[in-house]
Amino acid sequence: MKIINQKPTAVPPDLPEANLNGGTPMPRFQKKPQVFLETYGCQMNEYDSELVRTILKKENYEFVPKEQEADIVMLNTCAIREHAHRKVYGRVHAIRHARNGKPVMIGILGCMATNLRQELFQDRSLKIDFIAGPDSYKRLPALIDEAVVDGKKSFDVTLSEFETYADVYPSRKEGVNAWIAVMRGCNNFCTFCVVPYTRGRERSRPVTNVVEEVKRLADDGFKQVTLLGQNVNSYRHEEDDFASLLEEVSKVKGIERIRFTSPHPKDFPDRLIDVVAQNPKVCNQIHLPLQSGNDRVLEMMDRTYTRQEFMGLVDNMRKRVSNLVLSTDVIVGFPTETEEEFEDTLSLIRQVEFDSAFTFKYSQRKGTIASKKYPDDVLEETKTERIMRLNDIQKEITYQKNRAHIGETHTILLEPATHTKSKNEMVGRTDGNKLVIVTTPAASTHKVGDMVQVRITDATPHALKSDMLL
């Protein structure tokens, strides 16, 4: 596979600090500032929100569960899809309207803050007070203070070559799984993706630092960790690669399962696949983003692999990892994609038989290579028709894959029951990350965080079912 190294374009010039709201400072807080934080997008954004909570709590900010109670509302945003932008714009207007003229500070964090900061500040109807990019969260207290004291628009969207937040222990909610960002940024520059421009270049945390965080998580009662990165398997710190990191994390007592997302097909050497196959704590589920099954489209996307190379990797994984569960990402309607090229994607989906797939209609993002080189010329109705066909095929594959588990015994990790409303049901996930809904007897003493064995008795396209705790 070829690997193309590119450098990100220069960060656009900063905006002036002029207050577009008319120069009226916010009232100084008479008590601990009350903060409401809302998160959009991926697991990395969830993790970043946990970092923000820690940073602001150290400065005596207090987080509240309801937006109406807050002095400051912060939206941690995503820039991957256009609908996310529309949702955030609508949310800001709704917050302002609900306050009925009462003062509230609104800050935009995350990828959208970096990618669209000029539009956010220049839209006078939004009245955004401060903006912080993914590498600037440590400056949030200062940015808020500037907005409060001076009534100015404050912002910092600098992309750092070094910031990993390795010295910040995230404020997490209780649960069984904890996200851990082991590296930040991305060097791949897939033509459709805005991440290198909103999160900067790749940099990784030391293995010892990650392991220390995992030990604290185990002490806090977490049973599973999910290692995060925009291209997580490109992790490298000095002589340590991602396989080394997985092995060291697996040595932490109390951690039962290790997952990781999201990897790139170009960074799967045999040694890494063998760690997945042989280490009992590393789950046998791999998310392997495809994006397209056509070579011309893959080249336009700059994915650095061909259809044949992707299939070869899948075959290698399945030979080495028993009971491997594969999931993927697919984009339909990339610029100039023809019907025949889309059929290539469908044929690969049928051939590989992924256990599940996240599917997306191509959405042009400002600043990406694709937005500059390729017109978004596939009709919206064509994209919709294609994604519906793809989803129908994948739904049937997933259903048959799930039904194949009927009669099998699996160990599941019980988690909070957000997928069922019945008091007689609990939920957990298999090693392959498949959701299991378990009907439990009234006298059951099992609780969230327990590892239990179940016999699979039924299946749907969305979950496995069991009425037999073993």
CATH T-level assignment (fold) for domain 310-404: Transcription Regulator spoIIAA (3.30.750)
- Domain positions in the chain are 34-156, 172-283, 310-404, 409-469
So what CATH class is 409-469?
mainly beta
Pairing between strand 240-241 and 236-237?
A: antiparallel
Burial class (CB in 10 A: 0-12, 13-18, 19+), 28: exposed
User: Could you give the percent of the chain with pLDDT greater than 70?
Assistant: 91
The confidence score (pLDDT) of residue 84 equals: 63
State the angle between helix axes of 242-250 and 270-278 in degrees (0 to 180), rounded to the nearest 10. Answer: 20
Q: In the predicted model, is pLDDT for residue 1 greater than 50?
A: no
More confident: 15 or 216? 216
The confidence score (pLDDT) of residue 355 equals: 98
Q: CATH second-level architecture of 172-283?
A: 2-Layer Sandwich (3.30)
Residue type, 207: V
Distance CA 202, CA 186 (A): 5
Mean pLDDT estimate for the chain: 90
Distances (CA, A) of 419 to 226, 427, 434, 446, 457: 20, 7, 13, 17, 18
Q: In the predicted model, is pLDDT for residue 124 greater than 80?
A: no
Asked whether the domain spanning 310-404 has the same topology as the one spanning 34-156, the reply is: no
User: What average pLDDT does the segment 46-75 reach?
Assistant: 95
- CATH (one of 3.40.50.12160, 3.30.60.50, 3.40.50.720, 3.30.470.20) for 34-156: 3.40.50.12160
Where does the pLDDT of residue 118 fall: very low under 50, low under 70, confident under 90, or very high at 90 and above?
confident
Where does the pLDDT of residue 41 fall: very low under 50, low under 70, confident under 90, or very high at 90 and above?
confident
Q: In the predicted model, is pLDDT for residue 25 greater than 70?
A: no
Q: In the predicted model, is pLDDT for residue 50 greater than 50?
A: yes
Q: In the predicted model, is pLDDT for residue 14 greater than 50?
A: no
Q: What is the pLDDT of residues 317-370, one digit of tens each?
A: 999 999 999 999 999 999 999 999 999 999 999 999 999 999 999 999 888 999
Distance CA 175, CA 350 (A): 36
